[in-house]
Amino acid sequence: MQEIRLFSGEMIPLERHKVRIVQKLELLPVEERLSKLQEAHNNLYLLKNRDVFLDMLTDSGVNAMSDKQQSAMMDADDAYAGSETFFQLEAKVQDLFGMEHFLPAHQGRGCEKVLADLLVRPGDLIPMNYHFTTTRAHIVRCGGEVLELLCAEGEVYTSDKPFKGNMDNDALRTLLKNSERNIPFVRMEAGTNLIGGQPFSLANLQECSGICREHDVPLVLDASLVQDNLYFIKSRETNCREMSVREIMRAIADCCDIIYFSARKFGFARGGGIALRESPLVNPLQELIVLNEGFLTYGGMSVREMAAITVGLEESMDESVISQGPEFIRYMVEELTKLGVPVVTPAGGLGCHLNAKEFVPHIASDEYPAAALASALFIAGGIRGMERGTLSEDRHADGSEAHASMELLRLAVPRRVFTLSQIKYCIDRVHWLWQNRELIAGLRFTREPKILRFFTGELEAVSDWQEKLVARFRSDFGDSL
């Protein structure tokens, strides 16, 4: 195990790296934080990074790179076609997944687009443990429908179940046996993003794979967050204790027919790609990659990024590397739990998730509790989290709100980026907000896009509650930032 215990018995997420390049951060006074938030129309995506102190929006493309990644980037082979750097990346993917073909894409959603274009037809049904926003948007764009078959405990906020990302395999078996709809593939998502970075177990994936093979339906894995899932299998699944991370990775890949990933997460750089074995799908997928992403030896990625991904994938097989994110997240979850703050448990990967339904139960779903909490935390500490709730859903066809089953504020912990004192600061400001939660009220749209509205939509506070929060901050913290 990689955990470090202090003499006092305290367990801390000790960094197993040292900082060699830094970026200066500015913490604006609380009054300025409010005015920057209002300039950004209460949508944290619209903030300027220079106005953010702790950027916990996402782990996507913002993980710290290692010295070895940086040096590999200097050595990349620049070519439109036939770059040696691509062949090194391809060899690494083949080595880790045991799949012959690797098709590069500019990022995860590029993979999702070409897979949906090829595989999804109007009326199709795509079962999955849980959807991701961009995944579902592409499936729906092609006329398909997503069916979530997440295990029963998956959407329980507070739980001690180690694998809340598991597929409900009984439901999948029944569906594949009885469905009259066309099911082009089954999708499993590692480190299930929207329910709090929760993993599946290897046993669950193996059973799911057996069912798919029995019914001749391909199993597609979204491996964007597989590094966290690997760590949780290694540390939580008794039968896998003796397996190396690499062996677990291969056992996962053996279950799947197609694996795609965002290398903004898996690989600690920026890019993505699709891996698969020899199949009639290879040629049509290659055509779509060339059409949408770029030539088959770069797929929209710069050669420098491909070089960094190759090293990052190899580093993801090192338990002391992949443990860093989950250990920091567990620390946050445990400290916040001690303070009585409602968080998703057990701690997952990707980030610490606040349960906005319980944090601000007085805010109606139509006034976006998790988004309101996100705006309040920016005021409280210059901390940018990401709403993962009703605001991240698109409306029903009749214009009514599609209420998310979970209302979460995700505080992402990009890998190897923040120090423990920054995490402690974040815990402190969340605690202060929890003590002052009655001041927080809702938001409403002033401009609402039709597709993926959370990215660019504009909102306003339903009252002057944000000004009142600033006043409370001043009276509690005096001159402090």
Which residue number, 132 or 331, has a Cβ lying nearer to ligand F0G? Answer: 132
Contact 282, 214 (CB under 8 A): no
| Of 106 and 234, CB closest to ligand F0G | 106
**DSSP class per residue in 68-80:** HHHHHHHT----S
- Check residue 132 for interaction with ligand F0G (CB under 6 A): yes
CA-nearest of 282, 299, 229, 221 to 255 is: 221
SS3 173: helix
| 415 contributes a contact to ligand F0G by CB under 6 A | no
**Half-sphere exposure of residue 370, counting CA atoms within 13 Å on the CB side?**
27
CB of 387 to ligand F0G, least distance (A): 11
Q: Give kind and range of the element (H or E) at residue 12.
A: strand 11-12
- Residue with smaller CB distance to ligand F0G, 66 or 193: 193
By CB under 6 A, what part of segment 204-223 binds ligand F0G?
Answer: 222
- Dihedrals φ, ψ of 447, to 5°? -150, 120
Element (H, E) at 219: strand 219-222
Q: Please identify which residue in 108, 154, 197, 369 interacts with ligand F0G, judged by CB under 6 A.
A: 108
Distance CA 51, CA 384 (A): 10
> Which of 60, 83, 85, 209 contacts ligand F0G by CB under 6 A?
60
**Site for ligand F0G contains 148 (CB under 6 A):** no
Indicate the residue among 140 and 243 with the shorter CB distance to ligand F0G.
140
Residue 44 or 245: the one with the smaller Cβ distance to ligand F0G is 44
Under rule CB under 6 A, residue 130 binds ligand F0G: no
- Token representation of residue 89: 């990346």
> Applying CB under 6 A, does 272 fall inside the site for ligand F0G?
yes
Residue 52 binding ligand F0G, by CB under 6 A: no
State which residue, 80 or 455, has the beta carbon closest to ligand F0G: 455
> What are the distances in angstroms from CA 12 to CA 196, 326, 330, 421?
21, 12, 10, 12
> What is the nearest approach in angstroms of ligand F0G to the Cβ of residue 194?
8
User: Does 405 contact ligand F0G by CB under 6 A?
Assistant: no
Q: Which stretch binds ligand F0G (CB under 6 A): 93-101, 132-140, 375-383, 389-397?
A: 132-140
Within 170-189, the residues that bind ligand F0G by CB under 6 A are 189
Which alpha helices (H) appear in 226-323, and where do they start and end? 226-236, 245-254, 282-292, 303-315, 319-322
Quick check: bond before 346 cis, omega within 30?
Answer: yes
Q: CA end-to-end span of the chain, whole Å?
A: 39
Q: Which residues are catalytic?
A: 80, 132-133, 222, 265, 388, 454
With residues binned 3-state (H G I as helix, E B as strand, rest as coil), the percentages for the chain, rounded to 5, are 45, 15, 40
Question: Is the CB of residue 328 less than 8 Å from the CB of residue 418?
Answer: yes
The residue whose Cβ lies closest to ligand F0G is 108
CA torsion 3-270-110-189 (nearest 10°) is: 0
Question: Is residue 224 a contact residue for ligand F0G (CB under 6 A)?
Answer: yes
User: Is 425 among the residues that bind ligand F0G (CB under 6 A)?
Assistant: no
In the complex, least distance from residue 231 CB atom to ligand F0G, rounded to whole angstroms: 16
Site map 78..107 versus ligand F0G, x via CB under 6 A: -----------------------------x
Tell me the β-bridge partners of 197.
none
The size of the interface with ligand F0G (CB under 6 A), counted in residues, is 16
Q: Return the bridge partners of 63, or none.
A: none
**114 lies in the binding site for ligand F0G (CB under 6 A):** no
* Residue of 43, 66, 69, 262 interacting with ligand F0G (CB under 6 A): 262
Asked if residue 134 binds ligand F0G (CB under 6 A), the reply is yes
Q: Does 324 bind ligand F0G (CB under 6 A)?
A: no
Q: Residue numbers of the site for ligand F0G (CB under 6 A)?
A: 58, 60, 107-109, 132, 134-135, 189, 193, 222, 224-225, 262, 264, 272
